[in-house]
Chain A
Amino acid sequence: MKLAYYPGCSLEGSGIEYGMSTERTADILGIELVELDDWNCCGATSGHNTNKLLSLALPARNLAIAEQMGLPMLAPCAACYNRHRNTEHVIKNDPEMRETIAQLIEMELQGTAETVSILEVLANQVGIEQIASKVTRPLLGMKAVCYYGCLLVRPVEHTGFDDPEDPQTMDRIVRALGAETLDWSHKTECCGASLVTSRPEVGNRMLYQILRNAKEAGAECIVTACPLCGMNLDMRQGQVEKEFNTKFDLPVYYVTELVAWAAGESRQAVGIDRHFVEAGRYLDEVAVRAEKIKAEKEAQAQAKAKAAAQAKKAGDQADEDPEARQKKIDAMVKAFEKNPDKMVKRLIEDEERAAILLEVIREDSKKTARLAELMVDDAEKASKAAEAYVTAELKKRAK
């Protein structure tokens, strides 16, 4: 797979580990990323807060470059993704506005470019099985909540690859790595990233709600696919803990960090050592748990296989078709009638005793039938019974 790559400003700055791990993940999964030549900032929230034309023209310049490349454009940052999707929508549906924008950027603008999110690429284009097949370090025992934030899945008419209220793509990816993903109510709540600098008293409370809900759901870490959410939840977590007098200790991972790590990459290569909330220790803990779970699973599997083998053995006797068994018994009885001397020799080695058995069964057809039945079910028991008949006969004679 070949994609045009729009890292956006964050992936080279505050979300540098997202950029590093995205490139590692692409490499592992065989996706070729071709960076957009001379891309510019999308304007983000400040752009559309300030001027509509500007908020369309800035992403449009990137889309025009992607059009020239003729490739779908991957924008891992949720804000960049959202702004470019929004602009695409306008360009495709409003020819007049497309003309205005084309004049503004002084570039050709057909409206053929398509921006894709990392979740869409991983879950729907690469595929869950393909990701699972690359896992060498399964995240068994990890308890995670997937945090999509606001801009990846909204508005649904622009994004459209997942449900805007209960999205699942990231959960599927994280589960493919072996982790457990928990249900929680703040999956798509806004973290207030656009407010933490200008209005921290508002932004921090929004952060607090998300962190608290994650903790209450039983999460031990948060997984995200947005550099603003990631940075916000990670870097400001300490400040929020102080302000609300509580302790969260929730490492915040980018989904690509986990994919690359689970596929065997080093911490340095994916940027785990660049977090604010210590994030390596939890991965070590998960590795220990994973070993334990693996060993338990193996032991369970072995015990199960053993039990199954035993059940099969017992079942061969018990579960056998009664009709088939009866046929075998009848055949055995016939054999006793035809070649009684050969049959008794199968039951008793000693010739003298075998001769006595021969006499016993000639006189007692019930005993013959019983022996035939036992020979079908269990040869050993049949021999024992035959020996017992002979001993009883000898005793009778002695009297």
Chain B
Amino acid sequence: MKLIPACEEDQQLLRRLEAEAGTNVNLCYQCGKCSAGCPAAFAMDYPPRQVIRLLQLGMVKQALKAESIWICASCETCSTRCPRGVDIASLMDTLRREALRQGLITDKKVAAFNQAFLNGVRLFGRTYEAGLLLQHNLKTMQPFKDAQYGLPMMKRGKISILPAKIKNRDQVKKIFDKVQQLGGE
């Protein structure tokens, strides 16, 4: 077996990620309660316990490239149940954001969805559901995905073609711009 020593750079990155997540991976004693309770673990390459293990071993790049971090649904079951108080959900969040910063996105669909969602909020101050679905479908090259729901939703008054807008859209747009300047996406 080839052992890769954790380099200083990885350690520094890990400390930064832990600070952002507000938690400490060395608290974890690998009991696996997080993986046992995770409702999405069945689809993950590394279940939550193993993601923490990767971090403990300083294998931060592997953790950032894990598909798991994009499958995590942010339900916070893991953090609620962890007997050592490790905020795993917050770590997952932090890993996703770091993967975005480094351009290491394993799951383009989830990231594309998030981007489409936030674009709507940036422009209108509200979620623009119709625009979101359309944009997501175009970006991910699946134009007819969920198309069967379009008309029934409209019939039930659950989606409108035109976006709902707030009055002070400039305020929300400014929040996005400032966040970006501070070193956001």
Q: Which residues of A contact B (CB under 8 A)?
A: 9-10, 12-16, 38-41, 43-54, 57-58, 61, 104-106, 150-151, 154-156, 164-165, 188-190, 192-195, 197-199, 201-203, 205-206, 209, 231, 235, 274-276
Q: Which of A41, A105, A193, A209 contacts B121 (CB 8 A)?
A: A41
Inter-chain contact B77/A150, CB cutoff 8 Å = yes
Structural contact, A51 and B185, CB atoms closer than 8 A: yes
Contact A52 B20 (CB under 8 A): yes
Inter-chain contact B97/A51, CB cutoff 8 Å:
yes
> In B31-51, which residues have CB < 8 Å from any A CB?
39-40, 42-43
Complex: chain A residue closest to B69, CB-CB: A49
| Interface range for B | 35 or more
B147 partner residues in chain A, CB cutoff 8 A: none
**Given the complex of chains A and B, what is the CA–CA distance between A194 and B140 in angstroms?**
16
Chain A residues whose C-beta falls within 8 Å of the C-beta of B114 in the assembled complex: 45-46, 49-50
The residue of chain A having its C-beta at the shortest distance from the C-beta of B169 within the complex is: A40
Q: How far is the CA of A276 from the CA of B149 in the complex (A)?
A: 10
Cross-chain contact B179 with A57 (CB below 8 angstroms): yes
Cβ of B2 under 8 Å from chain A:
no
Q: Which of A10, A154, A199, A235 contacts B107, CB < 8 Å?
A: A199
Contact assessment for A50 and B74 in the assembled complex, using a CB-CB cutoff below 8 Å = no
The answer to whether A48 and B93 touch (CB under 8 A), given A53-B182, A190-B39, is yes
Given the interface pairs A197-B146, A199-B109, the reply to whether A205 lies near B43 with Cβ below 8 Å is yes
Q: Does B58 contact A (CB under 8 A)?
A: no
Q: Mask for B143-185, Cβ within 8 A of A = 1, else 0?
A: 0011001001100111110001011100110111011001011
What A residues does B179 contact at CB under 8 A?
Answer: 51, 53-54, 57, 104
For A235, the chain B residues whose CB sits under 8 A away are 149, 153
A9-B129, A190-B77 given; A197·B43 CB < 8 A: no
* Residues in chain A near residue B145, CB distance under 8 A: 197
C-alpha spacing A202/B73, complex, angstroms: 10
Q: Whole-angstrom distance from the CB of B93 to the nearest CB of chain A?
A: 6
Contact B76 A154 (CB under 8 A): yes
Determine the distance from Cα of A156 to Cα of B125 in the docked complex, in whole angstroms: 29
Bound together, the chains give a CA A162 to CA B110 distance in angstroms of: 31
A43 contact set on B, CB distance < 8 A: 118, 121
Given known contacts A13-B158, A155-B80, A49 and B172 CB-to-CB distance under 8 angstroms: no
A54 touches B176 (CB 8 A): yes
Are A39 and B166 in contact (CB-based, < 8 A)? yes
Shortest Cβ distance from B178 into A: residue: A104
- Interface pair B166/A38, CB less than 8 Å apart: yes
Among A41, A104, A188, residue most surrounded by chain B Cβ atoms (within 10 Å): A41
From A9, A50, A189, give the contact of B185 (CB < 8 A).
A50
Residues of A within 8 A of B11 (CB): none
- Choose from B110, B127, B185 the contact partner of A13 (Cβ within 8 Å): B127
Q: Say yes or no: A192-B158 contact (C-beta < 8 A), given A46-B117, A51-B185, A61-B172.
A: no
Partner of A49, one of B39, B97, B136, B158: B97
